[in-house]
Structure 1
Amino acid sequence: MLPMVTDQTRRTLLKAALFGAAAPVMPFGCASTISREPALIGCSIIGRDKFAAVVADEHGMPITTLPIPERGHGVATNPQGHAVVFGRRPGTFFMVFDYRSEQMIKLQLAKPNRHFYGHGVYSHDGTLLFATEGERGTSRGIIGVYDVQKQYQKIDEVTGFGLGPHEVIMMPDGALAIGVGGVHTNGREPLNLDNMAPSLSYLSQYGELLDQVSLPDHKLSIRHLAHDGAETVLCGQQYRGEPDEYPALISMHTRGGEMQDLQAEPEEWARFNHYVASIAATDEWILATSPPGSCYGIWSKSTGKLVELNALPDASGVVIYGDEFRVSSGAGKVVEQRPLESKKSFSSGIQWDNHWSRII
């Protein structure tokens, strides 16, 4: 039997929604009283079966927190001051709040036959939210379209691009790029590893399929994405093949072209333990993290070659901030790094989960 959203889960989520509608997000207990500007938002683990979204300053130091009912994953923000946190796949909710006023806006529950895949993105003007969703029982991929100005009412669904979409990003030209995992799952259990069909798919905001490419090895499930500020997309993969094989886990692509693997030695790819989580890129550098590998790597975008491989316990989120990378860790570490120039790290006191989102 496929797992469903249980009555107890729904009661928990609805209770959280009612609480959020009546009360502001409470300030983080140990946050500094010095006024700091929100710059980064990520999910965190705060105790056994206790989770939160954390608003932090530019150095990853916490300013405020918002309890969330289940483990979170990706976060998206818009210019109007909204942040949306998505439940970890198969997610039962997304939660929207105002990171400036610290007020809850909406808790959206998944329908009983649907789930969220943990990611979403706003349109450039912040008026639409696009969320990766799946149909329980088939894993049919769906992009749900929500109208921000209508209290996040769902106004459209886009499908027909494959099974198991994970991360969706907005390209500078307004197109959507989707990492399609190609995996049919029961909860988190894969069911079709022998015939999975991952792809990198590009859609217009109206659902037109603009381009779709795949990797030669169909056991490389495309999951996490970033772009370089222009036309190049970076794809992070999860390898679902033989445990003693270590293929390239990151590829570059520009619409109309072919996939190009980034380069590293097999023993270096082995450090990533078959999984790439967060990716960030500039026109010069690419940084990718691996929580199970407790490491992150930096590649030269021009050569495609690995230039640094660094240990970091439970390496999690990464964003570009100015001319630096900011990297988070499930062990509470934050790293600020300029490739080949400087690196410093410190403790944030937060057990950061997989991803960070920069407030723009």
Structure 2
Amino acid sequence: MVTNQTRRSLLKAALFGAAYPLAGCVTTSQKTQQPTLIGCSIVGRDRFQAVVADENGLPLKSIALPERGHGVASCSKHQHAVAFGRRPGTFFQVFDYVTGESIKLRAADHHRHYYGHGVFSHDGQWLFATEGERNTSRGIIGVYDVIAGYEKVTEFTGFGLGPHEVILMPDDSLAIGVGGVHTNGREPLNLDSMSPSLSYLDKNGELIEQVGLPDHKLSIRHLAHDGSKTVLCGQQYRGEPDEYPSLLAMHTLGGELLPLQAEPEQWARFNHYIASIAATDEWILATSPRGNCYGIWSKHTRKLVEQASLPDASGVVVQGDVFKVSSGAGGVVSQRRPGDKHRIRSGVQWDNHWSVIS
């Protein structure tokens, strides 16, 4: 339930959360750059922002968030971005990513919370958000009418407990990483009976296909697609602490989930958790803030070809054929292929995910 204190925090953010430049980080030359990347950041104790950056990850504008953010959805048709509260999230914040102006700060519905991710439809008409029912964790995709001021118009459900990330496929269907975990706040309650899945819904919310992994302790959470029909999913392992199964898999409709390959000691470095994923025609890159590293796999062989250290490795997106990787320690890595990387300092304490404006 959204508490009075939460509502006061949301109201305060709405009143005082106008965009402002990041002091000490934005130069005159940077202000002329185009907004390209958006992510949430941690500023200090109980201070959080969404940050708009240029193509190099250098900050241009920011907007205050009432609580810690997680994923960001963006829509170039309207110049809108939406930052979602970290699970169990109580809000999403809509803003203009060019001007930085706040458009709408929406509290979660009664007995609902956000799981931290959402995506716009291709035509910009709808926003789809992963939500849960409090006390049950029943999975919901909230459907919001963008033109009507982000009014919720319907809910899709019937695919499982604890959906985390939702992405839009090229054919307008939705792919959902369903964690399968019933939680009280962030405390898991059903690890012995959890039932994760990769689920697909059509544009009307009907279940198209649902697939799982043999090990039900692999909670499917984060997703990406390769621009075509292949979906990549990253897992959080909820099993024995000294076991290190594959944490990544790839899938196309009608097929099986195919685990990506690495040695157990390499999987151990990821510390049982994959955060962000991105893919090109040749390569797949996945980050682990808990493991302070990221890995690059060959899409064709499914084998790990590079594992690199990066403190609090967080978001990753693809621009053209170049991966851009963010760090909670402020670094940004640009990498086209294994062994070819360029690092800069952004001055931003990036959180788990990035969104690229397309």
- Hey, what's the Cα distance between the residues in 2 that align with 1:200 and 1:333? 32
Query: Which residues in structure 2 correspond to 1:68-87 (within 5 Å)?
Result: 68-79=65-76, 80-87=78-85
Identity across the alignment (%): 71
Paired letter, 1:158:
F
Query: Which residues in structure 2 correspond to 1:19-30 (within 5 Å)?
Result: 19-20=16-17, 24-30=18-24
- Please report how far the alpha carbon of residue 29 of structure 1 lies from its aligned counterpart in structure 2 after TM superposition: 2.0
Q: Deviations over 1:122-175 (max 9, x none)?
A: 001111000000000000000000000000000110000000000000001110
Q: Which residue of 1 aligns with 2:314?
A: 316
Residue from 259, 267, 274 that aligns with 2:257: 259
Residue from 347, 354, 358 that aligns with 2:356: 358
- Hey, what's the Cα distance between the residues in 1 that align with 2:222 and 2:256? 18
Does residue 102 (structure 1) correspond to residue 96 (structure 2)? The answer is no
- Hey, what's the Cα distance between the residues in 2 that align with 1:341 and 1:47? 34
- Hey, what's the Cα distance between the residues in 2 that align with 1:199 and 1:353? 25
Q: Could you tell me whether the CA contact under 8 Å between 2:283 and 2:299 is conserved in 1?
A: yes
Q: Which residue of 2 aligns with 1:49?
A: 46
The answer for unaligned runs of 5 or more in structure 1 is none
Q: Which residue of 2 aligns with 1:62?
A: 59
- Please report how far the alpha carbon of residue 19 of structure 1 lies from its aligned counterpart in structure 2 after TM superposition: 3.4
Paired letter, 1:213:
V
Paired letter, 2:63:
L
Q: Which residue of 2 aligns with 1:126?
A: 124
TM-score, normalising length: structure 2? 0.98
The answer for unaligned runs of 5 or more in structure 2 is none
Paired letter, 1:50:
R
Root-mean-square deviation (Å): 0.9
Paired letter, 1:9:
T
Q: Deviations over 1:253-285 (max 9, x none)?
A: 001100100000000000000000000001110
TM-score, normalising length: structure 1? 0.97
- Hey, what's the Cα distance between the residues in 1 that align with 2:155 and 2:239? 32
- Please report how far the alpha carbon of residue 5 of structure 1 lies from its aligned counterpart in structure 2 after TM superposition: 2.6
- Please report how far the alpha carbon of residue 28 of structure 1 lies from its aligned counterpart in structure 2 after TM superposition: 2.2
Q: Could you tell me whether the CA contact under 8 Å between 2:276 and 2:287 is conserved in 1?
A: yes
- Please report how far the alpha carbon of residue 112 of structure 1 lies from its aligned counterpart in structure 2 after TM superposition: 3.1
Farther-moved stretch of structure 1 (177-186 vs 337-346): 337-346
Residue from 106, 110, 113 that aligns with 2:111: 113
- Hey, what's the Cα distance between the residues in 2 that align with 1:66 and 1:19? 10
- Hey, what's the Cα distance between the residues in 1 that align with 2:171 and 2:143? 18
Does residue 32 (structure 1) correspond to residue 27 (structure 2)? The answer is yes
- Hey, what's the Cα distance between the residues in 1 that align with 2:250 and 2:321? 21
- Hey, what's the Cα distance between the residues in 2 that align with 1:339 and 1:325? 8
Farther-moved stretch of structure 1 (339-348 vs 280-289): 339-348
- Hey, what's the Cα distance between the residues in 2 that align with 1:204 and 1:17? 34
- Please report how far the alpha carbon of residue 323 of structure 1 lies from its aligned counterpart in structure 2 after TM superposition: 1.8
Q: Could you tell me whether the CA contact under 8 Å between 2:306 and 2:339 is conserved in 1?
A: no
- Please report how far the alpha carbon of residue 16 of structure 1 lies from its aligned counterpart in structure 2 after TM superposition: 1.4
Q: Secondary structure at the match of 2:5?
A: helix
Paired letter, 1:64:
K
Q: Which residue of 2 aligns with 1:335?
A: 333
Q: Deviations over 1:171-219 (max 9, x none)?
A: 0111000000000000000000000000000001211101000000000
Q: Which residue of 2 aligns with 1:173?
A: 171
Cα separation, partners in 2 of 1:341 and 1:244, compared to 1, 3 Å: closer
Paired letter, 2:43:
I
Q: Deviations over 1:61-118 (max 9, x none)?
A: 0001101010000000012200000000000000000011221110010123110000
